Structure 1
């Protein structure tokens, strides 16, 4: 056996040993999953939101957020979001050209409100991403399991198009 062949075999064996040592299939890691948002409040629009800093909108799945492969007690996510409290307000269009009148749009945008909350993640066995539900009174619920919204096994049962109460409980 040549010296080069011995070096290649030694190198190959060393790589296998190193890679085997890196196998953490039994370790507590995280995996990427899509983010999906649901607005349950009829009188507002969620402009955008973040899950632990990963930005998303309500327009379908957004990639991605890191979710622990195994649930553990005390697991939470930090949610930030911005709402338009009057999404049906008519904003005048410019007389010439396309788009909104900039002054009117700036006045409308000044009414946007930002919120944040640390939200507990309910227990899950397998994750299929993170669903975020925006409820009245700036309440938020999340789900990280594999059931689809509306399924019998989906734990969040609040209806869509809920009304914001005149006063929110503290």
Structure 2
């Protein structure tokens, strides 16, 4: 809950605003991603809160701040995840000297980018400490999320999916 304070001067008003902002974000946590796919996650966001750009294939990354789930979990709770997949790194980079080769390389990389949006159910966190949100990017553009405070790979971490998943020959039709 927000602190009750009285602000009488400009200096105290600044302090009051800082106290309110701190209280509003005190329950907020980081946004982290775990990429179980062969594609780079160029960027992603959770409910409009941006996370760190580029998580390479079969890697984790994070650093976005400000995701705060509701104080109480409720059935049907979801988050909206927006993300872009593509290639990462400089594989096949021809250099800048030959402009035609460079432009073809850029065009090939751009053609592989895909935009995605998905509503993802948030598992019940009743009675648990919540530490932001972790999004798991799975093959076939599937997602899982958790609000667990444990790091990925810890015995208590709820998602047990291995980091390196095989590339499926086909994906279910959406």
Q: Return the TM-score normalized by structure 1.
A: 0.72
Gaps of 5+ in 2: 7-24, 56-60
Superposition deviation, residue 110 in structure 1: 2.4
Inter-CA distance 88–135: structure 2 relative to 1 (3 Å threshold) = farther
Superposition deviation, residue 147 in structure 1: 2.0
Is 2:162 the partner of 1:139?
Answer: no
Query: Aligned pairs, how many?
Result: 140
Match of 2:77 in 1: 75
Q: Is the 8 A contact 2:87 2:109 kept in 1?
A: no
Q: Distance in 2 between matches of 1:92 and 1:120?
A: 43
Q: Is the 8 A contact 2:49 2:64 kept in 1?
A: no
Q: Distance in 2 between matches of 1:141 and 1:153?
A: 16
Match of 1:35 in 2: 31
Match of 1:150 in 2: 153
Over 4 Å off, 4+ runs: 85-89
1:99-118 aligned at under 5 Å gives the runs 101-118=102-119
Superposition deviation, residue 167 in structure 1: 0.5
Per-residue CA distance 1:25-84 (angstroms, 9 max, x = gap) = xxxx9931110000011x211111110111113333221213212212111000111111
Per-residue CA distance 1:115-141 (angstroms, 9 max, x = gap) = 111000001122101000000111000
Q: Is the 8 A contact 1:85 1:113 kept in 2?
A: no
Q: Return the TM-score normalized by structure 2.
A: 0.70
Q: Distance in 2 between matches of 1:89 and 1:115?
A: 24
Match of 2:50 in 1: 55
Gaps of 5+ in 1: 1-13, 16-28
Superposition deviation, residue 85 in structure 1: 5.1
